[in-house]
Amino acid sequence: MSKRWFITGGTPGNFGMAFAEAALEAGDRVVLTSRRPQELATWADQYGDRVLVVQLELTDAAQVQRAVHAAEEHFGGIDVLVNNAGRGWYGSIEGMDESSLRGMFELNFFSVLSVTRAVLPGMRARGNGWIVNVSSVAGLVSAPGFGYYSATKFAIEAITDALRDEVAAQGISVMTVEPGAFRTNAYAGFANEPIEEPISEYHGMLEQVRAAFVEMDGVQPGDPHRGARAVIAAMAQDPAPRRLVLGNGGYDAVIDTLEQSLADIRGNETLSRSSDFPT
C-alpha cells in the first residue's frame, strides 16, 4: 500500500523537493508545503492527484493545523512526516541580534514541534507512522559563526531522541537525518548577504565563513536525490537506524567529533567519578 507523505520546505532545488520526488518514485503520494506554492504548480501538475501542494507559513500555528487537516482530508491520513524546512543565519554568539536568533529558533525548532504535534494524533489513532526530522551535521558538530544555527539543530536532536522513545509503543518510528554539504540552493544567498555583525573583532572570522560557503555554492558533493533515497532505504531496514548522517564529509566530521568527545570524557573519568558521595 502506498504511503502518504507530508513534507515541509518544498522550495525548488532543495531537499524538500528531493524527498517528494523520491517518495513519488516509490509509488507513494505526497503533500508538499511551501510559502510560495505557485512556484510548485508546474512541477505538481505532472503527478496529477498524487501530489497536493499546500501553502504554509510554518511559524503560524493556525496555518499548520489547517495544512495538516487539509492533508488528512485529501489523502485520508499522513503516514510519513518529514520536517525538512529550516534556514541558517550566521553571526557571532556575542553579536548576533536577538530577533535573528529567535527567528531561527521559531523556524528551525518550534515550527517542527508544531507540525509534529499536529500530525501525531492521526498516527496514534492508526497505530503506525514515521517521523523524519531533518537536522544537520551542525546538530552534532558545532562551528564558529554558526553557534545559534547549531543550537537549533542540537535541540532537534534532543527532542527527536525523546520522541522516539515516547511514541514507539504507539507503533510510530522516528529518525533524525543529518545532511552535510548538499547541492541545494541553501548556500545561494551568502554572496549577497552583508555581514551584520556589530562587533568588529568577529568580522574576520565571519568573512571566512561567508567566503567558504560562497566558494562551495553549486559544487557541494552531496546529491539531494541520493540522500532522500538513502533515507527511504534506512526506513525500510529492520531495525531502522535512530539517526542517519548523509554525505562523506559529514560522516567523517561526525565520527571525528564524537571520538574526540569520548576521548575527552574518558580522559577525565577519575574526576567524573570522584564527585559522588563516598560509598
Residues labelled as active-site residues = 135, 149, 153
**Rounded CA separation 252/75 (Å):** 40
What is the DSSP annotation of 35-75?
S-GGGGHHHHHTTGGGEEEEE--TT-HHHHHHHHHHHHHHH
| Run of H or E residues at 243 | strand 243-246
Collect all residues with Cβ–Cβ distance below 8 Å to 140 and sequence separation of at least 6: 154, 157, 178, 245, 254, 257, 258
- For residue 136, give the amino acid letter: S
Q: What is the dihedral of CA 43, 85, 97, 89, to 10 degrees?
A: -70
Task: Round to whole Å and give the CA distance between 166 and 34.
Answer: 29
Contacts of 21 (CB under 8 A, 6+ apart): 225, 228
Instruction: Report residue 200 as a C-alpha cell.
Output: 568588529
Q: Where are the alpha helices (DSSP H) in the chain?
A: 15-25, 41-45, 61-75, 98-105, 111-126, 147-167, 203-216, 224-235, 248-267, 269-273
Answer for the pair 86, 9: CB distance below 8 angstroms, yes or no.
yes
Dihedral sign computed on CA atoms, order 13, 18, 19, 25: positive
Show the cell assigned to 272.
567524573
Alpha-carbon distance 57 to 269, whole Å?
47
